[in-house]
Amino acid sequence: MPVSLLALALSAFAIGTTEFVIMGLLPEVAGDLGVTIPSAGWLISGYALGVAIGAPIMALLTAKLPRKKTLILLMSIFIVGNVLCALAYSYNLLMMARVITALCHGAFFGIGAVVAASLVAPDKQASAVALMFTGLTLANVLGVPLGTWFGQLFGWRATFWGVAVIGVLAFIALIVSLPTNRNEKPVHLASEVSALANGKLWLSLLMTVFFAAAMFALFSYIAPLLLQVTGISNKGVSWTLFLIGGGLTVGNILGGRLADWKVSFSLILSFSLIALFSLAFSWTSHALWLAEITLFLWAMATFSTVPGLQINVVRHGKEAPNLVSTLNISAFNVGNAFGAWAGGAVIDGGYGLTSVPVAAAVLAVMGLLICLLTFRRPRGQQQAARA
């Protein structure tokens, strides 16, 4: 794998850290800026909204730029956004800085995935995308806990200064290592937009929505499930999250290799396993070791889906890879919000915490049905295959 993939992975690590580390710093941010915890929580929602809306807009605005220059520009915005977060002296300024930072998120991951795939042979493209997204999984395993600890020790602003420094390192790595593709075809906005007429593309994006919904319906409420149902301590929750992060990383790598072999089989298998392990957790959550094993397997199954989803979307929208790839990141964030809402609705409905994994399984089954519909061959092709 080319060294430039490591520059993309480092960039993904920085972006993933700044997105999720705010969750661990909400008390510090709320106390310093004089707002309530729920108000500080809107900093998470504001970022997600910035990603969902900003991704396709930034993809269109940078459509005529070479992809290397686009990624460098987006990383520059990321650095500026984190510096503004560190300097923000009011809640409104911090929200604005978070939204500015979020603008680069979706477009960077979308265009970065296209670049990662272009750096290797066709039969290694999913593994290349998986390596880039390993930076995102490591952000959850290492970046978030270390960033939270750093912010609690030196103040929450210090964390954003630290992420900005990582962004500068990634910025330099992108300049030095990314090759300049002189054969890159110029992008025309009309062709980018016309590529959206493909029905299979929208099914693929809907598949991503239900994948993220199935993941975050359970993941958003994993802490109360572990505390109140499994009965482990706060420290135990931290170790379990670390275990889940390890499962996400392993699943991402294995999913990339499986998608290199056959994307359709990879996604069908992954959605099936997500549904199976989510449903199983509704029972195994009552026993410590069974719960830990199930969650590790669930995490592996969950992120084994990511490389296949990204490659699948680009294949169905190959006339506009930048735009459709960033739309996939937007779809992920829409599913993130929908899944968190669905899990909360189940709890508010009085069904109990153990019903949350069941809801996640239902969402995964819906994703599986969309997956089967997407890869269903027309009747004429089926008859030709039998012949």
Measuring CA to CA, which residue among 130, 309, 284, 125 is closest to residue 211?
Answer: 309
CA-based nearest residue to 97, from 114, 77, 116, 113: 77
- Under CATH, what is the fold of the domain 1-179? Growth Hormone; Chain: A; (1.20.1250)
- Please tell me the distance from the alpha carbon of residue 114 to that of residue 180, in angstroms, as a whole number: 14
pLDDT at position 186? 61
Tens-binned pLDDT, residue by residue, of the chain (387 aa): 678 899 999 999 999 999 878 877 877 888 899 988 767 878 877 888 888 888 888 888 887 788 889 999 999 999 999 999 999 999 999 999 999 999 888 889 888 888 888 888 888 888 888 888 888 888 877 888 888 888 888 999 999 999 999 999 999 999 999 887 666 666 666 666 666 777 888 999 999 999 999 998 888 788 788 888 989 887 787 788 788 888 888 898 898 888 888 889 999 999 999 999 999 999 999 999 999 999 999 999 998 998 889 888 888 877 777 778 788 888 888 888 788 888 888 888 888 889 999 999 999 999 999 999 988 866 555 444 343
**Interatomic CA distance for residues 183 and 237, integer angstroms:** 50
Is the C-alpha dihedral spanning 345, 350, 353, 354 positive or negative? negative
Q: What is the DSSP string of 115-169?
A: HHHHTS-GGGHHHHHHHHHHHHHHIIIIIHHHHHHHHHHH-HHHHHHHHHHHHHH
Cα separation, 211 vs 208, whole angstroms: 5
CA–CA gap between residue 111 and residue 134 (Å, rounded): 16
Residue 211: partners with Cβ closer than 8 Å, 6 or more residues away: 271, 274, 302, 305, 309, 332, 335, 364, 367
- 79/83 Cα distance (integer angstroms): 6
Distance CA 33, CA 40 (A): 9
223 phi/psi in degrees, rounded to 5: -65, -55
DSSP state of 318: T
Structure tokens at 66: 């070479």
Say how far apart CA 379 and CA 102 lie, in whole Å.
44
- Looking at residue 196, the DSSP 8-state letter turns out to be G
pLDDT of residue 182: 62
Query: Where are the chain's structural domains?
Result: 1-179, 187-378
Q: Do domains 1-179 and 187-378 have the same CATH topology?
A: yes
Superfamily of domain 187-378: MFS general substrate transporter like domains (1.20.1250.20)
Contact predicate 47/98, CB 8 Å: yes
Model pLDDT, residue 383: 46
CB 17 within 8 A of CB 163: yes
List of residues 6+ apart from 261 with CB closer than 8 A: none
